[in-house]
Chain A
Amino acid sequence: MKSVFRKTRIAPILLLLSVLYLFHSCDPINTDKPPVLVDSLGTSISSVEFASYKDACLVIVRTNESWTATASANWISLSANSGKGNTAFLIGSNENQEFKREGKVTINTGKKSKEIKIVQDGTSRMVLNILGINIALRKIEGGVFTMSGSDNISYYGVAHQVTLSDFYIMETEVTNQLWKTVMKTLPYDTIPEFTGHSQHLKPFQAVSATNWNDVNGKFLTAFNQITAKTFKLPTEAQWEYAACGGKYYQGKKYAGSDKLDDVAWYYSNSGGEKHDVGDKNPNELGLYDMSGNVSEWCSDWYDQNFGFPIQNNTLIVPANQNDPIGPSTGTKKVVRGGSYVSELMFSTDCNVKDRRSIKPNGYDMYEGNPRVFFMCKNTGFRLVVTQ
């Protein structure tokens, strides 16, 4: 009886223990949670592209740790630079009035680090103050275009595909004022025969009578020292793309219009004089005087076929050229755009596809004559910069 009693008291306890054991061993999945990763760090984004104006984005930091965030540049601002655990905060950028720029935000826990790449687009119109003179530059978004080959005029050169990167180009031609500020003298000051041509000396007129060597050597050296940037003469491809209106090209004959009077100073409307830059209508990109006023130097050596090879009497035109810089050698430099002496009836100088060339020392067919008549008296320039 005693033993029976003992059995009956132990049995329920054993039963309860066995049920608990079974319950625990059969279904542990529903009762346990995953182990916590103590060194986890993640962010909702790994890179951001901001527009050139003031911009911002919200980033989520996923971690179980304390974290810190630091920005690599002072144009990047953070709404939080430290925290604990999962946190969302803002990354902001100031308005960018210069070139495209890059920075990063670094997020650190004790053991891990993550970087968020920040890229901010460059401004579409940049104004530089150079020794008291404001110079406006327009951003030209690169793209693919068909260079030359218009109107079946042979000296325009063969049509070919070119791909260009983004660049900035001066809104207007370089003026007498800018040249004199940088070089201290005007080009005409050293030409004795120039006496009596004071109509070309006005400060806001485009500078002219500047030969390629002087522009590329003396002026650019001084200008780049002042600006601490790397300005250059445009390549022929950059010049044509910009004159045509870049990606907004509508097939216009001149830079911004089919009517030359709208956009250019040329023989019939110039009165035989250069004019202040920017007085005519701009083209699709906001660039003035790409047709007329003064023709403009490019950096390329001139070749009627752009330096493309000829095999078995056949011109080999490449399928595409990326940022071409023209032939490696030559005797003349490319000049584009026509000028205030271009005659609409007899020439196509002001056409955006027209190509001319002058020796880099500025003398050409008029060599030997009084220098005031040398061809580049109608030739000026504008500059480009990429970064």
Chain B
Amino acid sequence: MQSTHPSSALDPAANSGAALIDQLGTVLYVGAAIIFVAVMALALYGVIARARAINARSWILGGGLAFPIFTLTVLLMYSLAVGNGLNAIGSSNALQLFLECFGIGEARERAPADGVLKVHVIGKQWWWEVRYEQPGREPVVLANEIRMPTHRPVELVLSTTDVIHSFWAPSLAGKVDMIPGRTTRLRLQTSEEGTFRALCAEYCGGQHALMALFVITQSEDDFGAWLARQAQPVTEPRDAFLKQGYDAFFRGECHECHTVRGTPANGVSGPDLTHVGGRRSLAAGTLNNHIGTMAGWIAGAQEVKPGNKMPSSLAYTGVELRALSAWLGSLE
């Protein structure tokens, strides 16, 4: 899939965690370049120049000990400050901290500050389920796409149902693993409206390379409208061609694995397709979403992404395939 949405730690979104890390990076690059040039110059001079008396103690204690200790101490303090800025956490007692050094103990639930939007992201081989819990209502569930408002902190609650994955949106923030039996968290925030690509960064099996998603940041109003629309169920289509596709969906047993809210389809092992037509991509960031790729994906899922759980459907006539693709595409 061709696309130019930001997906680079070197091209961070405005006022995001990635922007903070990018600044830290600049300091690191400049520092490393200076040290590298200096060390290489010293080494080359040592080879080229004639023998000379040296003060061994000052070389070793100065260059080998004092200089790195000083530099690294400053760097450590700076990096801790940046880390805390990204991920402020409360204080805790010494034992707890010691245990946490070994990853022991559930990450403590941080009381979300007012206005923090929680989004659950669940890693699966090889796609992402995204859930917005709606108090008192059915959650909004979609796949391979996160939408979030700008100017508001968003906490991703990360988990997995199979193997270890890692959520990484390079232009927005660093990565955090999704680990069976655990819940991890990642905070996203930006003031920039746009579409950003995210990827799975932990090798998770055969199609690890084809596991991406898009994070779309939009204004608070647009986001609210989008969420409201996502909460709407689907109604049976009136158009005859689309109805043909709707029928084909059930005849091909797509509903065994997929949910389309408002219809009898309530399978859970595949992505929720309630508003699939409005999504940016198919097959977890692998294909752009249009009628051609939809049809190709349905009929050739095992060619596009071999080994994934969706079979290449061979059950449809050509017309049915087009109708089904058209109906799914209409679910915006």
A binds B: no
Q: B residues touching A (Cβ–Cβ < 8 Å)?
A: none
Binding site for B on A (CB under 8 A): none
